[in-house]
Structure 1
């Protein structure tokens, strides 16, 4: 059974994810038995976006280019439309509806948390597969099992349940379960749901601001929605994250999760530094004996494609 990895950054890491897909095609011997299940994220101005505030600007032509680039390789784009702060007035957002109209080809997907937005997408864009988001905080076996019985293609398991194999082995529809392998959030964080809501409010304020004042910097503190800025866990490095009880080790994916019937894994990193992301991809997806070659090849391809510049 292949391990299916969902990778971060349709916009923030577009070039790097295209490079990774190319390296995976050209040097499959460097990697474990994996496939790219999707690249997830949102385009700037997406007021429906959640989980991480997406900054920037882009137009219709850029959206079409990114969709075509990934889809031509058979890679679904999965939109993080997980803003829990949405109201009915936001459903008619022109930019988000434009994005879904362009992506409505039966391949691409949407991650949802708001029942309001989920019903709207099911009614207006029934061709999209829907993923139930980890933002729902389904952190007990009963609620998670009930969610797996619903009409979702994938349900993201709350990462507080990672490595709790006594619970995981009893879950139904294991093929629908997705695990966030490298969350930097502290285990059993009591503020996680509120943080997701705060990010949603900030995304709405940012999208409204940047559309009116594209040349004026956005300051979340001024707008009163910078409530997550002081969370110390946002700054964990990749080695700190690996020590958390919720972290999933690469060996466990192949030795425990896949034999149990789980094959969907999500890598966090929409706002990650490029070298952090390279190291994380190599850690999870390269064969240990080829890790150095995979890392060097990724850096070399990035340098050749002006993603980074390495001085001679």
Structure 2
């Protein structure tokens, strides 16, 4: 298979310790992993980053150490700045600007910003032109015509559609190859396929990142109270599994796939890495090298 799938992985700041152990394995034991997959980027934001969006309250690792790890393994770092409710005064936030100055310095590979706000997009383009930009899935682009317009914007190198567009193959196949190269599918969403409150959920996260006193968003989807379950995500009509990637998306000309999970635990992130990237016969090897030993007690 000549085509490559590039996975964009969660937890740049949130799962630093996991990646500190996983990335050496990925480099030194490439035989453990599918030869048709690569790591396209790792994304995230510090826990107290007001430009942040998507998930809040996670990510404590030192930005300099995080950047050094990404540089050591030649992986693009993406800052998740997808807050949808930013105002002019928020653009001067010291911490976010310091992050931009630090991560813009690395030019090989180029680092990126996942973004929602047009106000912030203009600001970062002006003051930190070294970044590339990803249009965030928090825009909830469920209308294909709207999605096409977003793809055709020169501002963005990648666009992440809402997961409910994942299987609209007749429309996806009308895109040019250059447009297909910009599409980044969200593979493992667990959210109810019929949800109409996705924007409201993301706006609550944006308000929390801004420090506003707002009530918790209460998901009313069927079984929403159970939280994220990978087994449930696999049954979602928008789920993209490894067979889908190899047999449908890669032959169609799509190569970018986003794995969600910044607000989850590192054990579940490891399961994503095992499922999407690791050959079944080597999954136990990866588990053993990351956390298993003969004396481990689960309870």
Q: TM-score when scaled to structure 1?
A: 0.86
Matching residue within 146, 155, 158 for 2:159: 155
Secondary structure at the counterpart of residue 157 of structure 1: coil
In structure 2, what is the equivalent of residue 109 of structure 1? Answer: 112
- Deviation at residue 56 of structure 1 after TM alignment: 6.0
Cα deviation for residue 299 of structure 1 reads 4.1
In structure 1, the residue matched to 2:191 is: 185
**In 1, Cα distance between the equivalents of 2:218 and 2:122?**
29
**Matching residue of 1:217:** none
Structure 2: how far apart are the matches of 1:171 and 1:51?
27
Map of 2:253 onto structure 1: 261
Q: Which residue of 2 aligns with 1:30?
A: 32
Q: Distance in 2 between matches of 1:299 and 1:50?
A: 34
Q: How many residues align?
A: 286
CA contact (8 A) 1:202 1:225 kept: no
Which of the residues 247, 253, 256 maps onto 2:239?
Answer: 247
Q: Is the 8 A contact 1:198 1:228 kept in 2?
A: no
Equivalent in the alignment of 1:21: 23
Change (3 A) 1:71 1:194: same
Specify the alignment match of 1:214 in structure 2: none
The match for 1:310 is: 296
1:260: how far off? 0.8
Within the alignment, does 1:298 sit opposite 2:287 as a pair?
A: yes
Partner of 1:128: 131
Paired with 1:266 and 1:76, the residues of 2 have a C-alpha distance of 14
Secondary structure, in 3 states, of the residue corresponding to 1:66? helix
CA deviations over 1:81-116 (Å, ceiling 9, x no partner): 000011111000000000010011232110010111
Alpha-carbon contact 2:13-2:63 (below 8 Å) kept: no
Name 2:215's counterpart in structure 1: 225
Within 5 A, what are the aligned runs for 1:67-216? 67-104=67-104, 105-106=106-107, 107-151=110-154, 152-172=156-176, 173-205=179-211
Give the one of 205, 217, 230 matched to 1:238. 230
Long gaps (5+) in structure 2: none
**Aligned residues of 1:19 and 1:302 also touching (Cα < 8 A):** no
Aligned CA RMSD, in angstroms, stands at: 2.0
Distance 1:303 1:97, change over 3 A: farther
1:218 is aligned to none
Residues 23 and 179 (structure 1), Cα distance of their counterparts in 2 relative to 1, 3 Å cut: same
Instruction: Please state how far the C-alpha of 1:57 moved relative to its aligned partner.
Output: 5.1
Aligned partner of residue 121 in structure 1, secondary structure: helix
TM-score normalised per structure 2: 0.90
Q: Distance in 2 between matches of 1:297 and 1:55?
A: 25
Post-superposition offset of 1:276 = 1.6
Deviation at 1:303, TM superposition (A): 5.5
State the distance in 1 between where 2:284 and 2:153 align.
Answer: 40
More deviation in 172-181 or 89-98? 172-181
Any idea what SS the aligned residue of 2:160 has? strand
Contact (CA 8 Å) 1:154, 1:178: kept in 2 or not? yes
SS of equivalent to 1:205? coil
What is the distance in 2 between the residues matched to 1:182 and 1:28? 24
Q: 1:5 maps to what in 2?
A: 7
